[in-house]
Chain A
Amino acid sequence: MSIYSNAKISVRQFAILIMIGTVGDSILIMPTITAASSKQDAWLSMLLAFFAGILTGGIFAAIANRLQRVSLYEAIRQRLGLWFGGFFFLLFIFSSFMCILTLLSEMSQFMTTQLMPETPVNAIILFFGAVIIIAYRYGIEAYARMGEILFPVMMGLFVLLVVLLMPQIKWPNMLPIMARGFLPIINGALPAYCTGFVEMAVLLMLVPYVEGNGKLTKHILKGFIVGGIILFLIVLISVLVLGPALMETKYYPTFVLAQKIMIGHFLERIEAVMAFLWVITVFYKTLIHFFTLTTGLAQVFRLKESKMLTIPLGMILLVCTVVGTPNITTYNQILIDYYPWFDLTFFLVLPLIMLFLIIAVKQKPPKVQGQQPQGQQPQGQQQPQQPQKN
């Protein structure tokens, strides 16, 4: 019996997972990648990315509602058949694999450059990966509940960060507004939009586990809006406190922001406490992508369970992360110049094709009436309300 049999999460937990996932690694890297193009207009780039993100959330919600709690793989397989549907879904899984590599890279780089410079990068990835694997093996209900507990902590730390930085705000840092035109703002908005919002297409994998049969639009949009507001405020505060030059040159401006907190010489150097906020958000985003990777593979290969895949996949991910990040400069160049297009292709165009297929193509009838192919009961997808279940 799979650990995910009849696993259910509430709509509130679902929305929280989306909120934390949206913030994800963006909270660490967003100020740099927006300021690289749009300088002091980074906040405008983020605002643009936010509105585009809400629209994208609407697209994901449309897909989620039409899935009617059937797994994404099952919906695709019913329309494209076993082989083509499987191939199509493998592309989606591959994109999650690549996304996990970026997340692990960012996490390990952050830890080695800012917090634990003496610790080997392998050790950091190994321990972070181990926590992800353990969380996955405990099941979606466990980490959705944990998310519910950690969300107030995350919000508390975020509010504390914003409030404590208020005295250091310098409004002239925003000026001049749109001095170089609109194009740099769009250039800055693209990676922000992709990293923050488009990569959350993986929420579609969580849909079969959400309890009830109601529409999910409100909850998905709530997740995107709250996550987007957090990211917007982080970029805005970065512009106002650090200014565009520091934002652009520092790899982790949010960390520098936390270092700047100094209240009356008694409350200072709280960046290590703030780092907990980033660890939570990166952890949850990685976990949701790892869930997509592992559960998706189990579904495509018609496995009854998936937890035995976690350790081997963890080993592969560790190797690919270490190999994929020879140095921070090469990695950042790929991340800014090429990765947004990868995200758009695999996390936006693919879901759009999925939406088209779900709307336009009729489900293929089962070959033998009353006999369920094994692929229709993949790991972790045994929902009692699935219409095709006996």
Chain B
Amino acid sequence: MTSVLAVLALAAGAFWLEAPGLIRRQQFRELSAFLVLLLIGTVLYSLLMLQLSLPNPFMLVKWMFRWMGTAKSF
């Protein structure tokens, strides 16, 4: 649980670093992009810290080119 709190603290730190400037400059499109990515990053990082199973991104590469594995076996 402590590790999840550390992730939340990291996310809060990133928000504190970036958001005020974006709001001050009225860059709301940039703020939205930042918040969406920060949310994704925080959720993923928290899940990792909780040791929950996450899909392996390299399996996507394997899935995309699985036909090459089949071709090699011939």
Contact = CB atoms under 8 A, between A and B. Distances in A.
A324 B58 CA distance: 6
Contact of A339 (B18, B31, B33, B61): B61
Contacts of B61: 98, 334, 338-339, 342
Given A312-B37, A312-B41, A337 B10 contact: no
Contacts of A311: 14, 17-18, 38, 41
Contacts of A341: 65, 68
A319 B47 CA distance: 9
A32 to B, nearest CB: 18
Interface residues of B, number: 36
A115 interface: no
Contacts of B38: 311-312, 315
A319 B38 CA distance: 13
A109 to B, nearest CB: 13
Given A308-B18, A315-B42, A338-B65, A303 B54 contact: no
23 contacts: A98-B61, A101-B57, A101-B58, A305-B27, A305-B30, A309-B37, A312-B14, A312-B37, A313-B37, A315-B7, A315-B41, A316-B40, A316-B44, A319-B41, A320-B44, A320-B57, A322-B48, A324-B58, A331-B58, A334-B62, A338-B65, A339-B58, A339-B61
B55 A323 contact: yes
Interface string B54-74: 111110011011101100100
Which of A301, A319, A334 has the most CB atoms of chain B within a 10 A radius of its CB?
A319
A52 B11 CA distance: 44
Contact of B33 (A303, A316, A318, A326): A303
Nearest to B27: A304
Contacts of B55: 323
Given A308-B22, A309-B33, A342 B65 contact: yes
A324 B59 CA distance: 8
Contacts of B40: 312, 316
Given A98-B58, A298-B33, A308-B30, 9 more contacts: A301-B33, A303-B30, A308-B34, A309-B33, A311-B38, A316-B40, A318-B45, A326-B56, A341-B68
A231 B65 CA distance: 27
Interface string B13-56: 01001100110000101110110011011101101100000111
Majority secondary structure, A binding face: helix
Nearest to A305: B30
Nearest to A379: B30
A12 interface: no
Interface in A339-375: 339, 341-342
A260 interface: no
Interface of B: 7, 10-11, 14, 17-18, 21-22, 27, 29-31, 33-34, 37-38, 40-42, 44-45, 47-48, 54-58, 61-62, 64-66, 68-69, 72
Interface string A35-72: 00000000000000000000000000000000000000
A341 B29 CA distance: 36
B25 to A, nearest CB: 8
Lowest 9 A-B CB distances belong to which pairs? A315-B41, A312-B37, A311-B14, A308-B18, A319-B44, A312-B38, A341-B65, A312-B41, A308-B34
Given A311-B17, A312-B34, A319 B54 contact: yes
Which of B22, B38, B47, B61 has the most CB atoms of chain A within a 10 A radius of its CB?
B61
A190 B1 CA distance: 45
A222 interface: no
Which of B17, B56, B66 has the most CB atoms of chain A within a 10 A radius of its CB?
B56
B18 A323 contact: no
Interface string A288-323: 000000000110011111001101111110111011
